[in-house]
Amino acid sequence: MTPCQPAAASRPLGNMESLLLTISNKGKPFGGDHMAMKLVLHLDFVDSVDRQLALRRAWQALHRQYPALGTTLEPREQAAHKELFASTFDAHTWDKATFVVLHELDDANSAFEVLGPSPTPKCHWLPASSEVLIQMSHWRIDGMGIFMLAHRFLTALAEILRRGPETCCIATYIDRLPIQAHPLPPTLDSLAQEQKRRVQNPPDLESAVDRLVGGFFQHIPSIVLPTRADACKTLPTASGHVTTRLDVHLTRKIFAARRAKGYSFTAAVHAALVRTTAKFPQHPFAKTYASWYQVDVRKLLAHKAGFREQDGCPFGVYISAMPICVNILGLDEGRRVKCYDEIAREMTLCYSQDLSNILTALDGGPVGLLDIEESWTKRVLPIWPTPRFPGYSQGQAPELSSLGRLDRHVRHQYDSDDGCPRVVVKDAWVGVDMVNEDILCHVWAWKDQLHLGASFNQSFFDKEFIAEVLSHVMNELLPGLGVRNSPRSSL
């Protein structure tokens, strides 16, 4: 086996991967891939080069470095989970099947809406706008991981631009080759199992999970964003994505204000989203906001040898979905919606909980997220997304997922080993395909600007309505934190 030719490998899907695969398959009847991820990189090349060839080689190098990128699903005999199979690396075959040039589209926003599902990850190059759009199913990778993967892609691209894209062996562009003995990243299950708390009575943990699920159902029905009037008569069509952002000046004011109040970055934005949602007409029984937030568990796994040797596991699913429930009505006589500060404080408590002690077992001991990972993931499937209340089917509570400071994962500029700048990243964002009434929002900071994006299906929501909702969220956030001014938004 040559250095450019890693061996084939396989492993079963993990519990979270299988859950996301089930969710992904909900889009099949409508020709979609529910929650498929689409990452966009707006690039500026410093030198005059064959950009298309350089990008092709960078995409090949990424697959060479992470064999899991090209895996396929295979059924397993007498097993609940499918097998993830990585075939022997072949640069030409990979390039021909997964690298696409979109000459006919103006930009990534247009591509986001028209690109259909793909059984394999794909890299799309849009020469008209100098944008790259990387698309793959959510069961393959999580939101933080796809930006970590983007960093490795751009690092390889910068080196390719220095050496030239004609070098015969892809491995010469890569600073870290996959481990021959373990070319596929471990599952979250296998890593969690090493840390799982030893208990005498397994039902002890099951009881803890029961209490977590029961607490969530006490907050149903949730407040929701209303769908289009004809939504009940339509089938899912194209996904849509809208982003609004604040300029550097306002973003710095917001960060200073939320720190002064003791609110987390995500809680501050989430509270504004809840307040905005609550202003729309609601079911008379809807007194709470009940939704989910995704927890990146990489920090809990950082000390694991199997995690470290896989370069921090950018590829794979290392998240868990946790419920977030907040009563929105105050105790005053009018039972009005709580003020921003009240909701932000409650949200901060939710986001700041110790993941190694999220519940108390029957014996009084702490129960961490990794302790219940297997049981919890199996219980999440029937209730994620949030179940609808009988007789009230329209609308869903918008979810919010935080990507933090993207600058920590994707640089503004990529230099090659000789220190010369090769490619500048002008913008980076991510959205997901949606095939139902869910709305998934992402919040992140990039180049000292606060960004808030929303993904949705255009059969259920108009793009103009979602843009207006995001604008209202910013208008709740600013006065809520005591910041004066108005946001600058861009679609």
Interatomic CA distance for residues 422 and 48, integer angstroms: 10
pLDDT confidence of residue 290: 92
CATH number of the domain that residue 60 is part of: 3.30.559.10
pLDDT confidence of residue 362: 60
Residues 212 and 118 in one domain: no
377, part of any domain: yes
Tokens found for residue 283: 């079911």
Q: What range does the domain containing 178 cover? A: 9-184
Q: Is residue 427 pLDDT above 50, yes or no?
A: yes
CB 432 within 8 A of CB 138: yes
CB 340 within 8 A of CB 269: no
Q: Looking at 137, 160, 184, which one is the last position of a domain?
A: 184
Q: Looking at 184, 210, 238, which one is the last position of a domain?
A: 184
CB 46 within 8 A of CB 422: yes
pLDDT confidence of residue 302: 74
pLDDT confidence of residue 311: 67
Residues 340 and 405 in one domain: yes
Residues 354 and 396 in one domain: yes
Interatomic CA distance for residues 141 and 298, integer angstroms: 13
Residues 413 and 266 in one domain: yes
Interatomic CA distance for residues 395 and 433, integer angstroms: 17
Q: Is residue 4 pLDDT above 80, yes or no?
A: no
244, part of any domain: yes
436-480, pLDDT tens digit by residue?
A: 999 999 999 999 999 999 999 999 999 999 999 999 999 999 999
Over its C-alpha atoms, the chain yields an Rg (Å, rounded) of 23
Tokens found for residue 462: 């108009």
Nearest to 79 by CA among 8, 141, 18: 18
Average pLDDT (354-369) is 74
Interatomic CA distance for residues 297 and 238, integer angstroms: 32
End-to-end CA distance of the chain: 49
* Residue 484 confidence class, pLDDT cut points 50, 70, 90: confident
192, part of any domain: no
Q: Is residue 490 pLDDT above 60, yes or no?
A: no
50-63, pLDDT tens digit by residue?
A: 999 999 999 999 99
* Residue 2 confidence class, pLDDT cut points 50, 70, 90: very low
Total domains in the chain come to: 2
> How deeply is 439 buried, as exposed, middle or buried, from its count of CB atoms within 10 A (0-12, 13-18, 19+)?
buried
189, part of any domain: no
381-421, pLDDT tens digit by residue?
A: 666 666 565 555 567 899 999 999 999 999 999 987 666 77
Q: Is residue 207 pLDDT above 70, yes or no?
A: yes
Interatomic CA distance for residues 177 and 61, integer angstroms: 10
Provide the residue count of the chain.
491
Q: Is residue 346 pLDDT above 70, yes or no?
A: yes
SS3 402: strand
Residues 167 and 211 in one domain: no
Residues 37 and 170 in one domain: yes
Residues 326 and 243 in one domain: yes
SS3 400: strand
CB 272 within 8 A of CB 474: yes
Residue % of the chain over a pLDDT of 70: 84
Residues 386 and 449 in one domain: yes
487, part of any domain: no
276-335, pLDDT tens digit by residue?
A: 999 999 888 889 999 988 889 888 887 765 666 566 788 889 998 888 999 998 665 556
pLDDT confidence of residue 442: 98
Nearest to 439 by CA among 408, 463, 472: 463
Q: Is residue 150 pLDDT above 60, yes or no?
A: yes
CATH number of the domain that residue 266 is part of: 3.30.559.30
Q: Is residue 258 pLDDT above 60, yes or no?
A: yes
SS3 425: strand
Residues 361 and 465 in one domain: yes
Q: Is residue 155 pLDDT above 70, yes or no?
A: yes
Q: Is residue 125 pLDDT above 50, yes or no?
A: yes
Residues 35 and 165 in one domain: yes
pLDDT top residue among 178 and 270: 270
137, part of any domain: yes
Q: Looking at 160, 184, 208, which one is the last position of a domain?
A: 184
Average pLDDT (220-224) is 90
Q: Is residue 1 pLDDT above 60, yes or no?
A: no
pLDDT confidence of residue 378: 80
Residues 141 and 221 in one domain: no
- Alpha helical stretches, state H, 172-239: 188-195, 203-217
Residues 177 and 227 in one domain: no
Query: Distances in Å between the alpha carbon of 61 and those of 57, 94, 167, 393, 417?
Result: 6, 11, 12, 47, 16
Least confident range from 311-320, 333-342, 357-366: namely: 357-366
116, part of any domain: yes
Q: Is residue 6 pLDDT above 60, yes or no?
A: no
Annotate 320-379 with DSSP letters as a single string. Answer: EEEEEEEE-B-SSTT-PBPPHHHHHHHHHHHHTS-TT-SEE-TTS-EE-TTTSHHHHHHH
146, part of any domain: yes
